Chain A
Amino acid sequence: MVERRPALDFLAHAVLIIGVLIVAFPVYITFVASTHTSQEIVQTPMPLLPGAHLFENYRDALLGTGHGMGSNAAVGRMMFVSLVTALLITVGKIAISLLSAFAMVYFRFRFRMVFFWAIFVTLMLPVEVRIAPTYKVVADLGMLNTFAGLTVPLIASATATFLFRQFFLTVPDELVEAARIDGAGPMRFFKDMLLPLSATSIAALFVIQFIYGWNQYLWPLLVTTDESMYPVVIGIKRMISGGDAQNEWNLVMATAMLAMIPPALVVMLMQKWFVKGLVDTEK
C-alpha cells in the first residue's frame, strides 16, 4: 500500500463485496429455486430463502422423474454425456496438439510452413461461421448422435498447438543432444523428456479445454437429436417449453446447478492452472 487512506480502503472493500454479491446473486436465486416446489416458485414474490425440497428436486432431475411440459430426460445421463464429451475434447485436443507441435519443432520436412499456416488459419474459422456445411459433413459420415460427432470436429486446436510449439522452442537443445548420445530415438525423447517437461502447460490447458468442452452449446444443439445424447447444457434448454408457468422451474434450476458445479469446481480448485491457462492461450 502506498499511503494510509482508511476511507478509501473501506470503499475498496465495500465495492468488492457488492461486486461479489451481485456476481453471486443469480446463482443464489438458482440455488433457492432448486430447493422449492414448482408451485412455490411461480407465486410472486418467490421465496428468498432455501426451502425443504432440495433432495427430491435433485433426485427428480437426476433420474428424470419430473412432470414438466418440456423434456423430462434424466439429467444423470446428461451429466455423463457432458463429462465424456468434455474429457474426450480435452484429451483429444491436447494429444493431437502435442504431436503436431513436436513434428513442427523437431523435424525439417517439406511443406512444414504450409502446415503451420493451415493450422493458424483454423483460428479464423470458428464453428459459428461454417455451421451448415460442417453439419452436413458430420451427417454424411453418420456421426450424428454419437460421441465422435460431438467431439472430433472440435478437437483441432491452433491455440494449443502454438502454445506447445512456443514451449518446445524454449527447451534447451542440449537435451536433444544428450538423448541422441544415449541412443534415444525421437519418440523416446518425446515420451521421456518433452512430456514430463510440458506437465504444467498440459495442466493449464486441461482446465481451459475442459470448461470449453463442458460448455459447448451450438455444436451439440445441431448434432444431437436423441435425448440420450444431450449434454446437460442442451438438456436445460430443452426442459424449458415456451410458457413460463408450465415449466418445472425447480427442476430446471436444479439442473442448472448440476451443470455449473463441475466446471466451477475445476476453476476454483485448480485456480493456479486456470489463470496460467487463460494467460498462456491468449499469447
Chain B
Amino acid sequence: MASEKRVVFKSGWLPWALLAPQAVVIAVFFFWPAAQALLQSLQQSDAFGTSVEWVGLENFRNLWNDPTYLASFKTTAIFSVLVAVLGLALSLMLAIFADRVIKGAAFYKTLLIWPYAVAPAVAGVLWLFMFAPGMGIVSYALGAAGFEWNHLLNGTHAMTLIVMAAVWKQISYNFLFFLAGLQSIPKSLIEAAAIDGARPWRRFWTMQLPLLSPTTFFLLVINIVYAFFDTFAIVDAATKGGPGKDTSILVYKVYYDGFKAMDLGGSAAQSVVLMVIVVALTVVQFRFVEKKVNYQ
C-alpha cells in the first residue's frame, strides 16, 4: 500500500484548519500536562504549591530508596503476569474448543464477548460483592467448605480477587483474537496432518500453537498494557489498594500519592517512570507485532 497520495488538493490554509481541533486538544491536554509532569518531577513543592524548589533528580532517588515504591513494582509485576498468563491460557482453551465446534460457534461467541462491554469499575464491584466476607455468595461457599476467605485482611486473597476480576473482563478480547487466528489457519494443513495420523492434541502443540504465535505475542503485549493501565478502576472498586499496600499497583499509587497524599513531586516522578514504561511497551508493540495474524 502506498503511504502517499499521488493526487492531492492544493490549499494554503485548509489543511491547517482541518488539523486545528486535534492539534489544540493534544497540545492543551496531552503535551502541556506531560511537560508539566516532567518539570514537576524535578521539583519539590509543598501541598499548597506556595513554595517550589528545584531538586534535580532527588525525587527519582527517593523513589528508588522507597521500599513501598519497589513493593508496588513487584505487586504490578505479579499482577500483570498473572492476568496475562491466566487470561491468555483460559481464552486460548475456549477458542480452541469453539474452533472445533461447527454448530453453535457463533452462539458461544456471542455469549463470551459481552464482558468486554462491562466497565472495569463495575467488574470490580461485581467480584467484590460475590467475595465480600460475611455476605458474599462465594465467600460463604468457601467458608462452608472450610476455607476462610477475607480479602480485607489477607493480601493474597485481595490479589486473587483483582486478578479474577481483571481476567474475567479481558477473556472476551483474547478469545476473539485467538478464534480469528485459529480460523485463519488453512483447513488443508490440519487435514494433511490428520491424514498423517496426528491426533488433535498433537496437532495443537505442533501446528496450531506455533502458527498462533504472532497472535499470542500481540495479545501478550496488549494484556500487559491492560494490566498496567486499564485496571485502575478494578483495584479502586474492589480493594482500594489494600489491605495495607498489598494490591497497590503503580497506576493506583500515582493516583493515591498525587491526589490523596498530595506528594506532587513524588507523584510526578512516578508518572515519568510510567511514561518510560509505556514508551517501551509501544516500541515493542510496533517493532515486533507488525506482522501479526496475516498468514492466510
B121-162, CB < 8 A from A: 121-123, 125-127, 129-130, 132-135, 137, 140-141
Alpha-carbon gap, A263 to B114, bound state (A): 9
Indicate if A81 sits at the interface (CB-CB under 8 A).
Answer: no
Contact of B267 among A132, A152, A266 (CB under 8 A): A132
Alpha-carbon gap, A3 to B198, bound state (A): 11
Alpha-carbon gap, A211 to B224, bound state (A): 20
Sorting the interface of chain A by its residue count into under 10, 10 to 19, 20 to 34 or 35 or more gives: 35 or more
Alpha-carbon gap, A106 to B8, bound state (A): 5
Alpha-carbon gap, A233 to B119, bound state (A): 7
Q: A103 touching B19 by the CB < 8 A rule?
A: yes
How close is B249's CB to chain A, nearest CB, in angstroms?
10
Alpha-carbon gap, A282 to B98, bound state (A): 23
B258-277, CB < 8 A from A: 258-259, 264, 267-268, 271, 274-275
Q: A128 touching B18 by the CB < 8 A rule?
A: no
- Which A residues are in CB contact (< 8 Å) with B28? 137
Q: A129-B271, A132-B264 are in contact. Are A16 and B97 (CB under 8 A)?
A: yes
Interface string of A159-191 (1 = CB under 8 A from B): 001000010011001001100000001110100
For A173, give the chain B residue with the smallest CB separation. Answer: B7
Which of B52-60, B61-69, B230-238 forms contacts with chain A?
A: B230-238
Q: B31 touching A26 by the CB < 8 A rule?
A: no
How many pairs, one residue from A and one from B, have CB atoms within 8 Å of each other in the complex? 289
Q: A99-B21, A131-B258, A268-B114 are in contact. Are A237 and B121 (CB under 8 A)?
A: yes
Q: A137-B29, A222-B259, A268-B114 are in contact. Are A99 and B22 (CB under 8 A)?
A: yes
- Which B residues are in CB contact (< 8 Å) with A103? 14-16, 18-19
Q: B15 touching A109 by the CB < 8 A rule?
A: yes
What secondary structure prevails in chain B residues at the interface with A? helix
Indicate if B108 sits at the interface (CB-CB under 8 A).
Answer: yes
Which A residues have a C-beta under 8 Å from some C-beta of B?
1-3, 5, 8-9, 11-13, 15-16, 19-20, 23-24, 26-27, 29-30, 33, 41-42, 44-46, 48, 95-97, 99-100, 102-109, 112, 115, 118-119, 122-126, 128-138, 152-153, 155-156, 161, 166, 169-170, 173, 176-177, 185-187, 189, 211, 214-215, 217-218, 221-222, 233-234, 236-237, 240, 244-245, 249, 252-253, 256, 259-260, 263-264, 266-268, 271, 274-275, 278-279, 282
Which B residues have a C-beta under 8 Å from some C-beta of A?
1-3, 5-12, 14-16, 18-19, 21-23, 25-26, 28-34, 36-37, 40, 90, 93-94, 97-98, 100-102, 104, 108, 110-123, 125-127, 129-130, 132-135, 137, 140-141, 168, 171-173, 176-177, 180, 187, 190-191, 194, 200, 218, 222, 229, 232-233, 236-237, 251, 254-255, 258-259, 264, 267-268, 271, 274-275, 278-279, 282
